[in-house]
Amino acid sequence: MRIFKFGGASVKDADSIRNVVEVLQEVGHKDTLVVISAMGKMTNAMEKVVTSYFEDKQSITTSIQEVIDYHDNILFDLFENKNHPVYNKVKLLFDEVKGFLTWNKSPKYAFVYDQVVGYGELVSTTIVSEYFGEVGIPNVWQDVRNLIKTDNSYRDASVNWERTQKEVTEKVDMSKLNITQGFLGSDDNNFTTTLGREGSDYSAAILAYCLNADSVTIWKDVPGVLNADPRNFKETQLLDQISYREAIELAFYGASVIHPKTLQPLQRKEIPLHVKSFIAPNGDGTTVGKGEDISPRVPCFIVKKNQVLIKLSSLDFSFIMEDNISEIFKLFHHHKMKVDLIQNSAISFSVCLDNKFNGLQLMLNELKRKFKVVCHEDVSLYTIRHFNDKAVKSLQNGRSVLVEQRGRETVQLVVK
Helices within 344-388 (DSSP H only) = 360-367
CB 96 within 8 Å of CB 145: no
- 281 CB-near residues (< 8 Å, 6+ apart): 23, 26, 27, 219
Q: Domain boundaries in the chain?
A: 2-213, 300-415
Distance CA 88, CA 130 (A): 12
With residues binned 3-state (H G I as helix, E B as strand, rest as coil), the percentages for the chain, rounded to 5, are: 40, 25, 35
For the packed helices 109-117 and 42-55, what is the interaxial angle rounded to 10 degrees? 140
Helices within 237-377 (DSSP H only) = 244-253, 263-268, 322-334, 360-367
Distance CA 361, CA 312 (A): 15
Distance CA 305, CA 302 (A): 10
What pLDDT sits at residue 293? 60
Distance CA 312, CA 320 (A): 9
Instruction: Supply φ then ψ for residue 183, to 5 degrees.
Output: 80, -25
CB 218 within 8 Å of CB 255: no
Distance CA 273, CA 260 (A): 13
| CB-count exposure of residue 131 (10 Å: 0-12, 13-18, 19+) | buried
pTM of the model: 0.86
Q: For residue 198, what is the DSSP state?
A: T
Between the alpha carbon of residue 214 and those of residues 11, 31, 349, 363, the distances in Å are 25, 10, 46, 45
Distance CA 239, CA 356 (A): 29
Distance CA 209, CA 196 (A): 19
What pLDDT sits at residue 295? 62
Q: Does residue 231 have a known ligand-binding role?
A: yes
What pLDDT sits at residue 234? 85
Task: State the sign of the Cα–Cα–Cα–Cα dihedral 171, 151, 118, 354.
Answer: negative
- pLDDT tens per residue, the chain (416 residues)? 999 999 999 999 999 999 999 999 999 999 999 999 999 999 999 999 999 999 999 999 999 999 999 999 999 999 999 999 999 999 999 999 999 999 999 999 999 999 999 999 999 999 999 999 999 999 999 999 999 999 999 999 999 999 999 999 999 999 999 999 999 999 999 999 999 877 899 999 999 999 999 999 999 998 999 999 888 888 899 999 999 988 888 888 887 777 778 999 999 999 999 999 999 999 999 999 987 666 677 899 999 999 999 999 888 777 777 778 888 999 999 998 999 999 988 778 899 999 988 899 999 999 999 899 999 999 999 999 999 999 999 988 888 999 999 998 899 999 98
The b/e string for 57-83 (b: 16+ C-beta within 10 A; e otherwise) is: eeebeebbeebeebbeebbeebbeeee
What pLDDT sits at residue 148? 98
- Strand pairing class (192-194; 178-181): unpaired
Distance CA 131, CA 90 (A): 13
Between the alpha carbon of residue 76 and those of residues 10, 14, 47, 70, 84, the distances in Å are 18, 9, 25, 10, 11
Fold of the CATH domain 300-415? VC0802-like (3.30.2130)
CATH of segment(s) 2-213? 3.40.1160.10
Per residue in 73-103, pLDDT (tens digit) is 999 999 999 999 999 999 999 999 999 999 9
Q: Residue 118 carries which side chain, given as an amino acid letter?
A: G
